[in-house]
């Protein structure tokens, strides 16, 4: 149980890091967190590769985002599925939207990297 709690906290910290505006604007930091073959299915249903996501984040407007209902499922010794709710706030700190998120993280040597991500907007 201790190992699972440590793993949950590790993956949660990585997901929270990806929400930080300074990290999102840093190509170098994002490259460290996303696997070479990373793929995303965005809230629009469109698919994106690693380079497209990194480029898009450079032009993203800064928003506050928070994670709740976070849980993980071990798919193997080196692969973890994370599920959570993401809340995005506008400049006035009012909820702009909420989405359900799923990420697959894989251990490469001693570093966890995201290999897949999907977001689904929740209806208001």
Domains of the chain: which residue ranges? 2-121
> According to the model, what pLDDT value does residue 2 have?
62
Task: Give the number of residues written for the chain.
Answer: 124
Strands 47-49 and 111-121: unpaired
Measured CA to CA in angstroms, residue 109 lies from 10, 42, 78, 113 at distances of 15, 28, 9, 10
Which of 30, 31, 24 has its CA nearest to residue 57? 24
Tokens of 18: 């990806």
pLDDT digits (tens, 9 = 90+) for 8-53: 999 999 999 999 989 999 999 999 999 999 999 998 899 999 999 9
With a pLDDT cut of 70, the percent of the chain lying above it is 98
Residue 81 pLDDT level (bands cut at 50, 70, 90): very high
Domain range 2-121, CATH class? alpha beta
End-to-end CA distance of the chain: 37
Backbone angles phi, psi at 28, to 5 degrees: -60, -45
Which of 52, 56, 65, 66 has its CA nearest to residue 25? 56
Considering the entire predicted model, what is its pTM? 0.93
């Amino acid at each position: 149980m201790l190992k699972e709690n440590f793993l949950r906290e590790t993956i949660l910290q990585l997901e929270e890091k990806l929400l930080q505006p300074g990290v999102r604007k840093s190509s170098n930091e994002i490259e460290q967190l996303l696997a070479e073959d990373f793929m995303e299915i965005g809230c629009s249903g469109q698919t994106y590769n690693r380079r497209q996501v990194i480029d898009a984040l450079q032009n993203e407007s800064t928003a506050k985002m928070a994670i709740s209902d976070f849980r993980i499922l071990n798919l193997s010794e080196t692969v973890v599925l994370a599920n959570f709710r993401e809340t995005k706030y506008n400049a006035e700190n009012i909820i702009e939207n909420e989405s359900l998120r799923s990420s697959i993280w894989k251990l490469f040597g001693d570093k966890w990297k995201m290999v897949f991500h999907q977001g689904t907007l929740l209806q208001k």
